[in-house]
Amino acid sequence: MDELENKNIKVTFGLQPYHIEAIEKELQRWRDMPPLTSFPDHKINPLYIKYVWEKLGRELGWCPFTLCLYYFEYLEDQKLK
C-alpha cells in the first residue's frame, strides 16, 4: 500500500460518486424509453433487468451482481437519511 501512495495512486473501496452517476444515467435512459408497443401500459423497471447490470458491470469494471447489490444498499442508505 505504501508503494501505491508513493506513486500518488489512490485506492478506494465501494461505490464512488462516479459509479452512482453512471448507474443512474443508464437507469434513466431505460426509464425514458417509450413503452413496448405490445404492452403500452407496461413500464419496465430497469433495476431488475439483468442486461442493464451486465452492461454497467462491463463499463465500470465490476461484477454485475456485486454492483447491483452495492447499488441497492446505496438506495437503502439514502432512504434512511
Write the pLDDT tens digit of every residue in 21-72: 999 999 999 888 876 665 556 667 888 899 999 999 999 999 999 999 999 9
The domain tally of the chain equals 1
Q: How far is CA 76 from the centre of its chain?
A: 14
* Predicted model pTM: 0.76
Q: Does residue 1 surpass a pLDDT of 70? A: no
Residue 59: the pLDDT is 96
Please tell me which residue, 1 or 3, carries the higher pLDDT value: 3
Residue 3: the pLDDT is 76
Which range of residues forms the domain containing residue 58? 16-80
- Neighbouring C-beta atoms of residue 68, cutoff 10 Å: 20
| In-domain check, residue 7 | no
Residue 6: the pLDDT is 78
| In-domain check, residue 5 | no
